[in-house]
A and B are shown apart, each in its own frame.
Chain A
């Protein structure tokens, strides 16, 4: 029993750490409970979909998909177009998703193919690819739109006559998903329809895992060579995982932005990858294993921290920036920690198996380290 308890603590170390941290920070911040509840409900509806987009590449053994930013860009392009065409409400959002779809599929295919060229370092490749594509995205949005790509609404354009303005208001579609089925319980607004969409996509992920392709994906994630020998088209499967992830990220970004109600043309997408990945990891996921509960727990914990740390910092040393920096430190730090733990485990396993080859079991070789050679 006690060993089970210990294992529970070891397995959920990250989650427990953050629960404790937040339990300390909430009273220090002095924020009222109802405010926090409302914010968490809103943010669950806003961010969960994006975090779910990360699940399939993890299953396919490609790690944390830093390339999901590409999907977010596609989503934003869709939203810019429907704002220009002045299509409002649910039809507008649907159209934005439809526009984003082919762009996401293409970008996902590109990202997957490039990652196939860099097997074993997919994460850093995706990370840099996101920066690279950001350059192309800026080229399109700031220079091509309004000159090569027709934009009808002059209010969207910069004063120089081409290029989209820094902030695009989404008044026409603002929160139209969240308020489609209005529900108010104990004074709290609940974005029912957004939750329904999240439930649907969660169900899709769970269903997909059980299909033949899903099983192939999992096999490719565990051992590329063996799966290849067993007749699984490893490269295509990996590309498919990234395509689905990118498409989901595109739709997720649209859901995210309809809730916020504005696009920061040049920066809304930039940090979405980092925030989603940090949330997933805080929820107890690792580079190789992630589930829907990880997503939900992660979004709640990450955003609670997000909410309370600036106020907590202000009340502690009188500087709001302290909390802001702390929040960013946590986002970066939890990613660093997860990566270190993953690689550490991998290196230790490799060394152990090498020690086994040299004769003598792994644990024995570990004890006689140094003398073994």
Chain B
């Protein structure tokens, strides 16, 4: 009984409820005529799609900067990479690589400014990150209208200026990772090997990074700044590095997302993109200043599982689509829970 209580306390009641809810959904699926292999396949595809965005949150959580609600800054870098790559006329794998390289350059620039800013506002990062992200999305919306893009697949058809709100990457690099070494079993099951491999490879790199000297120093800054300072670690520099990393990973993450989703979403598209990623990592067990790769994997799987399964089960059973409302309640409830929980680390 005692160990049970400790398990509940450690794992957190909301997380247990969410896990049970997902299991119930999977269990119910065959009985209500939902195609289970297709659902599992969808879940895998969405994990590959969103995994790197969730991963992008780890560095900033570890360095004590909190949940990166300003991930949209990285997303904007990714959008710039993708659109410029298409504008330059690259197709296929080269287009994809070019998009990533360009996005990383922008990610580094944005991350630089963002990191410098967050170092001046220690303790108030989350709210500022949110609104810096929001206002950047809006200033970029103006930019999408007036930047001199010329490619006919991207600009408004009727000779107007400005980019379309959604741009298809079909014919450029749609599904380039999803279809790489794809495993197709039957008609309904598809395993997106390439996307999962890239996610795994990036996770491995992050794992290695956090076992290097600099990674350990970042963790130290996040878990006990006073101790870190006493051991001669430059706190501002570590935080700065983590913000840069997070922004650049976000840029990579959105490009991987786009190749699977098939579209580049401009203008107000990136406004709320940080929130699902934040919810996912918290569902996976992360706190406001501690996150591990296990949290990323479990979180991405649980969150994407719920997102895939809820609409199909509810549609089958109740003939109503409550999935949007459930998604809002689950993800924001999880963020709320993490914000209000007394953290064990230094106050």
Point out residues on A near B: beta carbons under 8 Å.
Answer: 114, 117-118, 120-121, 123-125, 127-129, 131-132, 134-136, 138-139, 142-143, 317, 319, 321-322, 325-326, 328-329, 332-333, 335-336, 339-340, 342-344, 346-347
**Distance in Å from the Cβ of A296 to the closest Cβ of chain B?**
24
Contacts A127-B127, A138-B328, A343-B122 supplied; 7 other A-B pairs, CB < 8 Å: A125-B340, A135-B333, A139-B322, A143-B322, A332-B138, A336-B135, A346-B124
Q: In the complex the two chains form, is B336's CB within 8 Å of A129's CB?
A: yes
Q: In the complex the two chains form, is A139's CB within 8 Å of B128's CB?
A: no
Q: In the complex the two chains form, is B142's CB within 8 Å of A329's CB?
A: yes
**Distance in Å from the Cβ of B191 to the closest Cβ of chain A?**
33
> Within 8 Å CB of A339, what residues of B?
121, 124, 127-128, 131
Can you list 7 A-B contacts (CB < 8 A)?
A121-B126, A121-B339, A129-B336, A319-B161, A322-B142, A325-B142, A339-B127
A319 to B146, CA, bound (A): 10
- Give the number of residues in B that approach A within 8 Å (Cβ atoms): 40
Q: Which residue of A lies closest to B139 (CB)?
A: A329
Q: In the complex the two chains form, is B117's CB within 8 Å of A340's CB?
A: yes
> Within 8 Å CB of A128, what residues of B?
332, 335-336, 339
> Within 8 Å CB of A328, what residues of B?
138, 141
Q: Which residue of B lies closest to A115 (CB)?
A: B340
When the two chains form the complex, which single residue of A125, A321, A329 contacts B336, counting CB atoms closer than 8 Å?
A125
A347 to B123, CA, bound (A): 8
> Within 8 Å CB of A120, what residues of B?
123
Answer whether A118 and B123 are a contact pair too, CB < 8 Å, given A329-B135, A340-B117.
no
> Within 8 Å CB of A336, what residues of B?
128, 131-132, 134-135
Q: In the complex the two chains form, is A321's CB within 8 Å of B145's CB?
A: yes
Helix, strand, loop or mixed for chain B's interface?
Answer: helix
Q: In the complex the two chains form, is B332's CB within 8 Å of A135's CB?
A: yes
**Distance in Å from the Cβ of A278 to the closest Cβ of chain B?**
10
Q: Which residue of A lies closest to B329 (CB)?
A: A135
> Within 8 Å CB of B128, what residues of A?
336, 339-340, 343
Interface residue? B5 (CB, 8 A)? no
Interface residue? B130 (CB, 8 A)? yes
Interface residue? B320 (CB, 8 A)? yes
Q: In the complex the two chains form, is B142's CB within 8 Å of A132's CB?
A: no
> Within 8 Å CB of A124, what residues of B?
69, 126-127, 130, 339
**Distance in Å from the Cβ of A114 to the closest Cβ of chain B?**
6
When the two chains form the complex, which single residue of A121, A129, A332 contacts B135, counting CB atoms closer than 8 Å?
A332
Interface string of B126-155 (1 = CB under 8 A from A): 111011101100110110011000000000
Interface residue? B325 (CB, 8 A)? yes
When the two chains form the complex, which single residue of A114, A127, A343 contacts B130, counting CB atoms closer than 8 Å?
A127
A117 to B340, CA, bound (A): 5
A329 to B126, CA, bound (A): 19
> Within 8 Å CB of B141, what residues of A?
321, 325, 328-329
> Within 8 Å CB of A142, what residues of B?
325
Answer whether A139 and B325 are a contact pair too, CB < 8 Å, given A343-B123, A344-B120.
yes
A138 to B141, CA, bound (A): 29
Q: In the complex the two chains form, is B138's CB within 8 Å of A118's CB?
A: no
> Lowest 9 A-B CB distances belong to which pairs?
A135-B328, A329-B138, A343-B124, A343-B121, A336-B131, A135-B329, A132-B332, A332-B134, A117-B340
Answer whether A123 and B127 are a contact pair too, CB < 8 Å, given A131-B328, A336-B132.
yes
**Distance in Å from the Cβ of B270 to the closest Cβ of chain A?**
13
Interface residue? B74 (CB, 8 A)? no
Q: In the complex the two chains form, is A344's CB within 8 Å of B121's CB?
A: yes
Q: Which of B24-51 contact A (CB under 8 A)?
A: none
**Distance in Å from the Cβ of B22 to the closest Cβ of chain A?**
18
Q: In the complex the two chains form, is A132's CB within 8 Å of B333's CB?
A: yes
Interface residue? B305 (CB, 8 A)? no
When the two chains form the complex, which single residue of A121, A325, A333, A340 contacts B145, counting CB atoms closer than 8 Å?
A325
Q: Which residue of B lies closest to A139 (CB)?
A: B325
Q: Which residue of B lies closest to A335 (CB)?
A: B131
Interface string of B105-126 (1 = CB under 8 A from A): 0000000000001001111101
> Within 8 Å CB of A343, what residues of B?
120-124, 128
A46 to B10, CA, bound (A): 48
> Within 8 Å CB of A138, what residues of B?
324-325, 328
A332 to B270, CA, bound (A): 14
A138 to B323, CA, bound (A): 12
A136 to B69, CA, bound (A): 22
Q: Which residue of B lies closest to A129 (CB)?
A: B336
Interface residue? B192 (CB, 8 A)? no
Answer whether A319 and B126 are a contact pair too, CB < 8 Å, given A329-B135, A332-B135.
no
